[in-house]
């Protein structure tokens, strides 16, 4: 059973959700067709801690390029950087996020960005949901989904959030266009 997402267009849209990280970048692919949301695939692109920063960023980029080539999404969404006390870790996360955005942009995809609390609120209903709550809701919304990692759960949550947000934007645009006719 697929989750319902308002979408008046009736055509299939394939969305790529990204949860960037230097050690592990989660990705999730969902299809939105009419009012249905369905799981396509998910996974994690990893890099080796012993490699140089450049090699690690390259591994993430190459891995995401392969995912984009294989699944051919039309849109992408990425989690924005969570700033923490460790400035060095935040900087490295920002670099991994930049590589993820670059891979999507080079493939010609528009990239939306969502704050972590917005994603949690969109999927679970609470902006401070924990990992277990996120896993429960993602697998409830995408019943055929068997997430590969907590990173892919987060990436699928980003895609779900984008499906909700972009459907709402489409409804507003349609209403505005209808009012101008």
Residue with tokens 């991994």: 96
Catalytic residue among 31, 39, 75, 151: 151
The CA-based angle 31-37-63, given to 5 degrees, is 40
- Rounded (10°) CA dihedral 97, 151, 70, 30: -100
19 tagged catalytic: yes
- Cα 20 from Cα 151, distance rounded (Å): 8
Q: HSE, CB side, 13 Å, CA atoms: give it for residue 7.
A: 22
Count of residues making up the chain: 181
Alpha helices in the chain (DSSP H): 53-71, 87-106, 116-123, 131-141, 150-180
Q: Are 17 and 163 in contact (CB under 8 A)?
A: no
CA-based R_g, the chain, Å: 16
Catalytic residue among 31, 75, 79, 154: 79
79 tagged catalytic: yes
Indicate which residues carry an active-site annotation: 19, 79, 151
């Amino acid at each position: 059973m697929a989750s319902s997402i308002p979408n008046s267009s009736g055509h299939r849209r394939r969305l790529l959700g990204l949860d960037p990280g230097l050690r592990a970048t989660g990705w999730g692919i969902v299809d939105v067709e009419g009012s249905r949301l369905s799981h396509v695939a998910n996974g994690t692109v990893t890099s080796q801690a012993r490699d140089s920063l450049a090699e690690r960023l390259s591994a993430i980029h190459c891995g995401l390029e392969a995912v984009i080539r294989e699944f051919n999404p039309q849109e992408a969404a990425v989690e924005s950087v969570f700033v923490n006390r460790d400035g060095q870790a935040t900087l490295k996360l920002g670099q991994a996020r930049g590589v993820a955005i670059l891979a999507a942009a080079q493939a010609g995809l528009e990239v939306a960005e969502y704050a972590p609390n917005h994603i949690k609120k969109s999927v679970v209903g609470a902006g401070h949901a924990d990992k277990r709550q996120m896993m429960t809701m993602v697998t409830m919304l995408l019943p055929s989904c068997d997430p590969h990692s907590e990173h892919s759960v987060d990436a699928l949550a980003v895609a779900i959030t984008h499906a909700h947000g972009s459907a709402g934007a489409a409804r507003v645009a349609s209403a505005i266009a209808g009012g101008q006719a």
